[in-house]
Amino acid sequence: MSSPTSTPGGRKRDRNTNPSTPSSDGPTSPPSQRRRGQDSSTGDLMPMPTSPATDMLSPAAAQDTSLFSSPRPSVLPNEVDMSSPLISVRGTPARQRADLGSVRKAPQVDLQSEPAGADGAVASESNAGQRLVIWGTDVNVGTCKEKFQRFLQRFIDPTSTEDENAGLDLNEPLYMQKLEEISVVGDPVLNVNCLHVQSFDAELYRQLICYPQEVIPTFDMAVNELFFERFPDSILEYQIQVRPYNALKTRNMRSLNPEDIDQLITISGMVIRTSQLIPEMQEAFFQCHVCAYSTRVEVDRGRIAEPAVCRHCNTTHSLALVHNRSAFSDKQMVKIQESPEDMPAGQTPHTTVVYAHNDLVDKVQPGDRVNITGIYRAVPMRVNPRQSNVKSVYKTHIDAIHFRKTDEKRLHGLDEDAEQKLFTEDRVQTLKELAAKPDVYERLSSALAPSIYEHEDIKKGILLQLFGGTRKDFSQTGRGHFRAEVNILLCGDPGTSKSQLLQYVYNLVPRGQYTSGKGSSAVGLTAYVMKDPETRQLVLQTGALVLSDNGICCIDEFDKMSDNTRSVLHEVMEQQTLSIAKAGIICQLNARTAVLAAANPVESQWNPKKTTIENIQLPHTLLSRFDLIFLMLDPQDEAYDRRLAHHLVSLYYQSEEQMEEEFLDMAVLRDYIAYARTYINPRLSEEASQALIEAYVDMRKIGSGRGMVSAYPRQLESLIRLAEAHAKVRFSEKVETIDVEEAKRLHREALKQSATDPRTGFVDISILTTGMSATARKRKEEVAQALKKLIQSKGKTPAMKYQQLLEDLRGQSETAITRELFDEALRALADEDYLTVTGKTVRLLA
């Protein structure tokens, strides 16, 4: 190994001109060692009649063969640095690819020829080339290169929706445009989607997956030839490196098994820990003490073969390692943990070690969700260097080639759900069949929390909340985003299984959060800044609301929440963002979360004589942000009781199977919702818009007859959202009249429950929007006027007794005057600066 590296920077074209050295090098790296883990899979390819040395041929070698009538064994067993294409095209240096593993020597032939020449040679020699492969694989470098170049030049994906391809012309060869981008930007990395390779050439894809260590450098060579042919004048820092991603080999960390060793895999997970940067020696620099002759030795599998003799002065053991002239590359250990969604219940998540090299170092931070493409490795563990016994266990890790953050998209606001849940054809078919059923809406709503009895409308409301409306963007016209999420408040007697409903929803949706108003502070809901104990850097820790972005935040005991905490919700529930200005971090986070809250009445029992606001004592500004407010009361009639009793008894004593027959599987429901949320974006149809307008006008009309406003634009928006959600339930791309009808009905039901004025029995929206019914306001006004008159009739008395005044007013009025009413009247007059109340005395101000 010493001779090729004897001249600094000599890893270029001069290899073949020095035939004697490579032949002596050949045996130093038995390929069998390298391919150990894969032997079983490639066994059928192994029994090549020739020795490893002569197995190796590549187009260039083939060219040699054509020039010299027989292959000369002394020339052929060349070694090529597989980590980077050897050709130093137009002076651009190659950069070692540490990600392809520590073994960079593979028996291989130098690619001397000019790219153009090579193409021709491949064409002419393709017959011979077919059989000649890299030792231990079925990869023929020439064919492989040619195929990949063809792929780059021709691959078109008109239906691409990836962010990476934004701004590219989809009808032109995709990767050629990317190469152009590289020539402009100068970032010599080409990310290649393996799916594209697969659809273009399945055989090439298979090779890439099975022999990444050999195929990727071949790709590198191919792309560099192509690139420098096309853009001869571009200057790059180093040669282009190909980074494949999205290999379909493995998705889940749990399914990694010994067969995946040394193969290209893609797994998803969450980063839990990253190490400090580890400098890894790539090339050791030795200098002779005696004659100052220097030499370089490449690190092979973590070992440095220290030269024993100085070749210049022949002194033994005179060479010393000079650290700061050795070449190092960056390396970082990253620990990945299985994402919680991938795990079977009742087990702990698995972790995997990933090594990131060079510019992939520090690409990810703990907490990031990533898809990692890399080569899976297993290394035997030696118990002790002095012992011959070894632990029979391998250490496994992944050499990362490509990181792709899955939640990266959140940065761009417009994107659809970050979750790219994959559905199999069958599943989609089942879901569509289900959607085609006329009673799908009823079916789904009854499948929701089957253990909770009846409350059909509430379940329907929650179902619509799970689907959500269509997200619209009006930023151009200055309105910004429209909220698509439906917010629901449940209130009612304690013990009416509100919490249970919340728990169910929380367990159903992938991004649900469950908090209790009692236990959560504003900080727990929003975000806080904390110092990372390891890195000492400030980290923004997100709270429940941000975590449930694109999900549902369930808040139990909403009424017990402190005012301070509740105020945070104002922004979230309408603008769907969260602003933070803390410890020097000023930002706005997306919190596109639907809120499902449950509140208990203040007096422990719902008082039907009072309005919703009076019962739960929540500010009306917050209440008006809920699309639907339901009362969960205990209805009291015999038929209901009987059904309830039956439901409960069967809940306790029916066998598991019976239950499952009756209701839809939770998993189906979950998939159904995920599918609809991802793929269905209903738009309003003409008739539906008309119906909505009518509905809104009707709602306003009801009130105007009694001299009050009974609907606000917010209610119209709610109606639109609900109608859209209902269309989603039907998997319909269009909102139709039936959707509007159901939205209207549900909205009315909810209003009937929560906004009925207990004094008049009418539905009065102003209870929710202003906190007081119109009749109550009118009554207050009257009493205040009566009181004023009373005081005025008393003449010039600067002060009066409170009790006295109350009794006088009672005596005068024909309707009963409660103390509260009286207090309110006093307050109203105080607001007019007419009087002031101090303790038990009322003083006139005027």
Is 278 a binding residue for another protein by CB under 8 A? The answer is yes
CA torsion sign for 766, 768, 770, 773 is positive
Helix ranges (H only) for 100-166 are 115-131, 141-154
| Residue 711 and residue 765 in contact, taking contact as beta carbons nearer than 8 Å | yes
Q: Are strands 585-590 and 327-337 parallel, antiparallel or unpaired?
A: unpaired
| Beta carbon nearer to another protein, 245 or 506 | 506
Regarding 530 and contact with another protein (CB under 8 A), the answer is no
Footprint (CB under 8 A) of another protein, residues 197-256: 256
Interface residue with another protein, options 103, 156, 195, 272 (CB under 8 A): 272
CA 650/CA 89 separation, integer angstroms: 77
The distance of closest approach from Cβ of residue 404 to another protein in the complex, given in angstroms and rounded to an integer, is: 18
* 53 vs 73: CA distance, rounded Å: 7
Q: What is the rounded CA–CA span in Å between residue 841 and residue 804?
A: 10
Among 155, 403, 504, 731, binds another protein (CB under 8 A): 504
The DSSP code for 311 is T
- Residues 31-60 touching another protein, rule: CB under 8 A, are 32-33, 36-37, 39-40, 43, 46
Binding to another protein by CB under 8 A, coded x per residue (else -) over 79-98, reads --------------------
Q: Is residue 209 within a helix (H) or strand (E), and if so which, with residue range?
A: helix 202-210
Element (H, E) at 670: helix 666-679
Strands of 568-705 (E only): list them.
Answer: 577-582, 585-590, 594-599, 628-632, 683-684
Q: Which is nearer to another protein, 332 or 710 (CB)?
A: 332
Only segment of 142-150, 190-198, 417-425, 443-451 that touches another protein (CB under 8 A) = 443-451
Phi and psi at 612, nearest 5°, equal: -55, -45
Residue 333 interacts with another protein (CB under 8 A): yes or no? yes
When the beta carbons of 15 and 357 are compared against another protein, the nearer one is 357
Q: In this complex, which beta carbon is closest to another protein, that of residue 47 or of residue 713?
A: 47
Quote the least distance from Cβ 2 to another protein, whole Å. Answer: 23
- As a whole number of angstroms, the distance between CA 484 and CA 550 comes to 10
Q: How far is the CB of 648 from another protein (least distance, A)?
A: 6
Q: Which C-beta is closer to another protein: that of 36 or that of 131?
A: 36
Residue holding tokens 């849940």? 421
Site for another protein in 376-395 (CB under 8 A): 378-385, 387-395
For another protein, the closer of residues 226 and 360 by Cβ is 360
Q: Report how far apart, in Å, the C-alpha atoms of 414 and of each of 433, 515, 682, 692, 811 are.
A: 30, 28, 16, 26, 65
What residues from 736 to 775 belong to the interface with another protein (CB under 8 A)? none
SS3 of 165, please?
A: helix
Residue-wise DSSP of 690-729: HHHHHHHHHHHHHHHTTTS----HHHHHHHHHHHHHHHHH
Q: Does 30 bind another protein (CB under 8 A)?
A: yes
CB 447 within 8 A of CB 663: yes
CB of 803 to another protein, least distance (A): 28
798 in contact with another protein (CB under 8 A): no
Q: What is the nearest approach in angstroms of another protein to the Cβ of residue 449?
A: 6
Sheet holding 841-844, edge to edge: 799-801, 841-844, 835-838
- Assess 799 for contact with another protein (CB under 8 A): no
Question: What is the C-alpha radius of gyration for the chain, rounded to an integer number of angstroms?
Answer: 37
With CA atoms as reference, report the closest residue to 14 among 115, 88, 101, 121.
Answer: 88
Query: Which residues in the 650-669 window bind another protein by CB under 8 A?
Result: 650-653, 656, 659, 666
- Minimum CB separation from another protein for residue 378, in Å? 5
Residue (of 332, 222, 216, 784) closest to 776 by Cα position: 784
Residue 328 or 453: the one with the smaller Cβ distance to another protein is 453
Give the per-residue contact string, 605-634, with another protein (x = CB under 8 A; - = no): -----------------------------x
Would you count residue 833 as binding another protein (CB under 8 A)? Answer: no
* Count of chain residues binding another protein (CB under 8 A): 89
Binding to another protein by residue 681, rule CB under 8 A?
no
**C-alpha to C-alpha distance for 305 and 319, rounded to whole angstroms:** 12
- Name the pairing type of β-strands 594-599 and 552-556: parallel
Output the smallest distance, CB 273 to another protein, in A.
Answer: 5
Contact status: 323 vs another protein (CB under 8 A): no
Q: Judged by CB, which is closer to another protein: 10, or 450? A: 450
Does residue 646 touch another protein according to CB under 8 A? yes
484 to 503, contacts with another protein by CB under 8 A? 494-497, 499-500, 503
**Applying CB under 8 A, which part among 447-455, 472-480, 611-619, 829-837 lies near another protein?**
447-455
Among 636, 793, 803, 838, binds another protein (CB under 8 A): 636
CB 97 within 8 A of CB 23: no
